Structure 1
Amino acid sequence: MKTKVQFFFKRAEALVALLILSLYHAMAQSAAGIDQATAEVSSYIDPISNLIIAIGAVVGLIGGVRVYIKWQSGDQDTQKSIMGWFGACLFLILVGVVIKAFFV
């Protein structure tokens, strides 16, 4: 009876050791994959950030033209329009800067 219990525990120890080694191997592979993914994402940050800033500049130009047209036509809503376009432009430019700061 004692030998069966000892055999069971030795088998359980071997199974636990095999499980730990396989988890260690899997973690090593996933760490290499995470490093590769981080490097790949980091290579896209500058172009995406510059694109967002450029979109913010275009939105600012379009907003400036639209506000100028409203102002020339005598619309009473020009201040509200200025704040809306300025807020959108500022948001896009800040998002581009924050993305660059967050990932670099």
Structure 2
Amino acid sequence: MKKCEKEKKVRPGRLLIRPLTSKHRIQRAWMLILTVLICSSAIQVMAQSGEEGLLQAYTEVSGYFDTGTDLMYAVGALLGLVGAVKVFQKWNSGDQDTSKVASAWFGSCIFLIVVATVLKAFFLG
């Protein structure tokens, strides 16, 4: 048998389970967090009238919104620092595509900061 056929062959009674990649682990963690948050907020809202529930949701969201935008600013700053290090490494090694890498890293950093500012102005302004 060829090597490829041996790898595909599964012993009877055993499942073919691949180890999770970091991307899948992060996706599962976010899904778990979102599920817990949705379930806990649904339990609290069920005991109230519609107007009180909406008012409570508004106050909770506006309370977390400043923290969320500050977190987006912090992530943008970290992206800027990581991008600066990556561009500096490419520049020192003599690569020709440093401008392409710099525009990609700093463009993503600026986009994140602009999105945080626009969301803050739109929802809280």
Work out whether the TM-score is over 0.5: yes
CA distance in 2, matches of 1:102, 1:31: 23
1:100 CA drift (Å): 1.2
Gaps of 5+ in 1: 1-28
| TM-score for the superposition, normalised by structure 2 | 0.58
Alignment of 1:4-43 (within 5 A): 29-43=49-63
- CA drift of 1:99 comes to 2.0
What's the C-alpha RMSD, in Å, of the aligned pairs? Answer: 0.9
Q: Which runs of 4+ in 1 moved over 2 A?
A: none
Q: In proportion to residue count, which structure has more helix?
A: 1
- Partner of 1:72 in structure 2? 92
User: Partner of 2:106 in structure 1?
Assistant: 86
Aligned match of 2:75: 55
Residue identity (%): 51
Note the C-alpha offset of 1:54.
0.5
Q: Helix, strand or coil for the counterpart of 1:75?
A: coil
Structure 2 runs not aligned, ≥5 long: 1-48
Q: Structure 1 counterpart of 2:108, which letter?
A: A
Higher relative CO (CA 8 A, sep ≥ 6), structure 1 or 2?
A: 1
**Number of aligned residues:** 76
Paired residue type of 2:103: M
Q: 1:36, 1:51 → 2: CA distance? A: 23
What amino acid sits opposite 2:62 in the alignment? S
Q: What TM-score results when the alignment is normalised by the length of structure 1?
A: 0.70
> Quick check: which has more Rg, 1 or 2?
1
Partner deviation per Cα, 1:25-71 (whole Å, 9 max, x = no partner): xxxx2122111110110000001100000000000011001101101
